[in-house]
Amino acid sequence: MNAPSGSQTSTDTSDTAAALLSLAVATAREAGELIVSMRARGVEVAATKSSLSDVVTEADRACERLVRERLLGNRPDDAFIGEESDGDEAAPRPAPSGVTWIVDPIDGTVNYLYGLPDYAVSIAAALDGETVAGVVLSPGRDLEYTATRGGGGFRNGTPLAQRASPALAQALVATGFGYDARLRARQGRSVARMLPYVRDIRRMGSCALDLCAVAEGLVDAYVEEGPHIWDHAAAGLVAREAGAILEVSGQENGNDLLVCAPEPGFAEFSTLVDTCGFRADARD
């Protein structure tokens, strides 16, 4: 989602982005209330997906239905990609409006299942292939991260400022693990190689919140192979608007590698990512 749009002026685009963000925020808040109330009634695994550890709950499904209905009910000419839908991540149906919604109804489903607070509703809007608005709402932490392209990133309405990066030895690095056992084993080896060079590692369980944590300065960097576009579309915009670089590189094995850090320390962190073997090679 990064092909630039040439069809609108920048004023048109920022007006559109603001309107899309407003709909996204209203929808995310309603979705947040739904999943909190469903959590309070008790949650169970409804199905597994790519592996036994990759779970979906009825709340994921109900939340995505609600989000889809609200977004497409308001804007029927838009396209929709959702984690729990059968939409094709790579090639969504072309939208007459040029807008595609990219939605993870619950990012951090395993946390949600266990009653841990780090889960989030993530809604992004892409215009002609470029993400222009996004919200990541964490009901468990009472946090709402928002951004529009060129309009800055915000946490609960307060602007997120660009930060300096600490030296690598003082960097707190967030990461995550995929659901495939072989991928996890390789990710574990890479994390073990990185540990001696950084302050510490955190695995919090939501890619979207990890990226917002980089934006906010709760961690200094993030690396993970395997997240999907619905995990990072909204949070990636928040991070970029807060002055971070988010690099999403497609790899030969089909997985994306995500590397994110504030711009001043990005190159050094990215080199460490390479050295520690986070990038898949042809054998993976």
Instruction: Write out the residues near ligand IPD by the rule CB under 6 A.
Output: 83, 104, 107-109, 176-178, 205-207, 224, 226-227, 231
At closest approach, how far in Å is the CB of 16 from ligand IPD? 27
- When the beta carbons of 106 and 168 are compared against ligand IPD, the nearer one is 106
Q: Is 102 a catalytic residue?
A: no
Q: Is 107 a catalytic residue?
A: yes
Q: Is 104 a catalytic residue?
A: yes
- Active-site option among 81, 102, 106, 229: 106
Q: Is 109 a catalytic residue?
A: yes
95 Cβ contact partners less than 8 Å away, ≥ 6 residues apart: 77, 78, 79
Look up residue 55 and give its two tokens: 């779970």
Cα dihedral: 89, 90, 96, 100 (round 10)? 40
At closest approach, how far in Å is the CB of 207 from ligand IPD? 3
- Active-site option among 78, 83, 84, 241: 83
| CA–CA separation, 241 and 60 (whole Å) | 28
Q: Is 112 exposed, middle or buried (0-12, 13-18, 19+ CB in 10 A)?
A: buried
- When the beta carbons of 13 and 57 are compared against ligand IPD, the nearer one is 57
- When the beta carbons of 17 and 209 are compared against ligand IPD, the nearer one is 209
At closest approach, how far in Å is the CB of 177 from ligand IPD? 6
- Active-site option among 57, 109, 148, 175: 109
Q: Is 210 a catalytic residue?
A: no
- Active-site option among 104, 128, 144, 224: 104
- When the beta carbons of 64 and 220 are compared against ligand IPD, the nearer one is 64
Q: Strand runs (DSSP E) across the chain, as ranges? A: 45-48, 55-57, 79-82, 99-107, 120-127, 130-138, 143-148, 152-155, 158-159, 172-175, 200-202, 221-225, 244-250, 256-262
At closest approach, how far in Å is the CB of 278 from ligand IPD? 13
Q: Is 53 exposed, middle or buried (0-12, 13-18, 19+ CB in 10 A)?
A: middle
Q: Is 64 a catalytic residue?
A: no
Catalytically active residues, by annotation = 83, 104, 106-107, 109, 231
